[in-house]
Chain A
């Protein structure tokens, strides 16, 4: 049985193809303006890698911001469910998941059976979402991927006076003008990001083990700052790119649906 998950986010689109609980192929692309186009493109790449065609997929689940516009899926499932399912499969001891997307931030708690007990989402304010880091990275002329490493070299991280992305930009410009080193600004940015995430995470009540999904989980600066703020180790997802967890979850849920279908 071959299943697939397609996660169309605001910034990136992800596709994962699975066979019998194993990942066959995966891909990540930058999202295009139309979610349907992004979905088709990323799934085509993944299919090519797997050496199969769309008709070989028994069941495909779509998720993410563009989930309702994916032409080839059998079902759309919420990101919360997909991230919880994916994280649980990758790290079976996980009870709390923090997912940072390009335009939102979510924290969810799951019970021992993988059921979602509580969750909270912020998609109203750019601060605390991937967008905050994106804007800040551009401002200090560092690629998003390098921001994590940059902060490791910081000696005296700046403290951001403002949470709002707009005001924080003014803070950063002020520090740049004052000649503050890029790594100290970068660390300040990562710390600010972590402190917003901590508010959200504390809101749902943390339970061990804790993990982080989404692209920001690859930023070591944010992860370690968040660990300090929460006083808890964040389990690293190593089997796949943390950005792919939603798509993995979608592919697993596709498998669950198939099983239920064949059972009935």
Chain B
């Protein structure tokens, strides 16, 4: 039985095609302004990689910010549920998930089957979301993807006095003007974002193990900063950015199992 999950986020769209618990193909694309088009495009690419057509997908579940507009989805699930499900599938010992998306952040507590017990969600304040790093990368004139690598050379990370993205942007510009090392600034930004995530995790009374999902988890500096902020080891999973789409595909599998 071939199933698929499609996660249309604010910044990227993700598609995963699975068969019997194995990932056949996946794709990540930058999302356009229309969720329906982004979904179509990312799924087409994944289908091409798997040499399949959409008719061969028995069931597809959509998730993410644009989940209601995915034309080919048979059902939808919340991102919270998908991230919980995906993370426990990737690493069965995971009970807490920190997901930092492009425009939101979540801390999710799950049981052994990946069912959500408790969660906290922020999409009201840009600080604490992936947007924070995106804006800062822009202000520093560096690529978002290079931030993890650049932070490696930090010796004395800066401490930001502002949490608000707008105020923090001004603050880092003056730090640059004062001649502070870019690596130290980036490490300071990672630390600031990690502290925000850690306070969410604290509020849901996290349990070991903790995993980090979402595109930001690919940033090694951020990963390390979160470990420091939480004071625990954070479990690495294989496809952190695909996690929501994987969870969606797993829900699709459940749906087909329930029908047959």
A-side residues, CB < 8 A to B, are 33, 103, 124-126, 131-132, 135, 162-167
24 contacts between A and B (CB under 8 A): A33-B177, A124-B162, A124-B163, A124-B164, A125-B125, A125-B164, A126-B164, A126-B165, A126-B166, A126-B167, A131-B166, A131-B167, A163-B124, A164-B124, A164-B126, A164-B165, A165-B126, A165-B164, A165-B165, A165-B166, A166-B126, A166-B131, A166-B166, A167-B124
Q: Which residue of B lies closest to A122 (CB)?
A: B164
Which residues on B sit within 8 Å (CB–CB) of A124? 162-164
Residues of A within 8 A of B125 (CB): 125, 164
* B108 to A: closest C-beta gap in Å: 22
Chain B stretch 94-150: residues in CB contact (< 8 A) with chain A: 103, 124-126, 131, 135
Q: Which residue of B lies closest to A135 (CB)?
A: B166
Select from chain A the residue with minimum beta-carbon distance to B165: A166
| A126 to B162 Cα, complex, angstroms | 10
Please indicate the chain B residues that have their CB under 8 angstroms from the CB of A163 in the complex.
124
10 new A-B contacts, CB < 8 A, other than A126-B165, A126-B166, A131-B166, are A124-B163, A126-B164, A164-B125, A164-B165, A165-B164, A165-B166, A166-B165, A166-B166, A167-B103, A167-B124
> Considering the chains assembled together, what is the distance between the CA atoms of A135 and B166 in angstroms?
9
Contact indicator B135/A166 (Cβ below 8 Å): yes
Q: How far is the CB of B91 from chain A (nearest CB, A)?
A: 32
Choose among A103, A162, A164 the residue with the greatest number of B CB atoms under 10 Å from its CB.
A164
A33 to B164, CA, bound (A): 20
Interface positions of B from 157 to 195, Cβ below 8 Å from A: 162-167, 174, 177
Chain A contacts for B124, CB-based, 8 A: 162-164, 167
Question: In whole Å, how far is B15's beta carbon from the nearest beta carbon of chain A?
Answer: 25
Chain B residue numbers with a CB within 8 Å of A167 are: 103, 124, 126
Docked complex Cα distance between A165 and B164 (Å): 9
The answer to whether A103 touches B126 (Cβ under 8 A) is: no
Complex contacts, A103 vs chain B, CB 8 Å: 167
Q: How far does the Cβ of B97 sit from chain A's closest Cβ, in whole Å?
A: 24
Residues of chain A contacted by B177 (CB below 8 angstroms): 33
Q: Which residue of the partner chain A has the closest CB to B174?
A: A33
The 10 A-B residue pairs with the shortest CB-CB distance in the complex, in nearest-first order: A166-B126, A126-B166, A165-B166, A166-B165, A126-B164, A125-B164, A164-B126, A164-B125, A126-B167, A131-B166
Give the Cβ gap from A174 to chain B, nearest Cβ, in Å: 9
Which residues of chain A are within 8 angstroms of B135 by Cβ–Cβ distance? 166
Of chain A, the residue at the smallest CB distance from B33 is A177
Q: Complex formed: what's the CA distance from A252 to B55 in Å?
A: 80
CB distance from A136 to the nearest CB of B (A): 11
Q: Point out the residues of chain B lying under 8 angstroms from A164, CB to CB.
A: 124-126, 165
Complex: A165 Cα to B162 Cα, angstroms: 14
A135 cross-chain contacts in B, Cβ below 8 A: 166
What A residues does B167 contact at CB under 8 A? 103, 126, 131
Residues facing A in B215-233 (CB within 8 A) are none
Report the separation of the CA atoms of residues A174 and B117 in the bound assembly, to the nearest whole angstrom.
Answer: 36
Cβ of A183 to closest chain B Cβ, rounded Å: 25
Inside 8 A of B163's CB, which chain A residues have their CB? Answer: 124
Separation of A164 and B163 alpha carbons in the complex (Å): 12
Cα–Cα, bound, A164→B174 (Å): 23
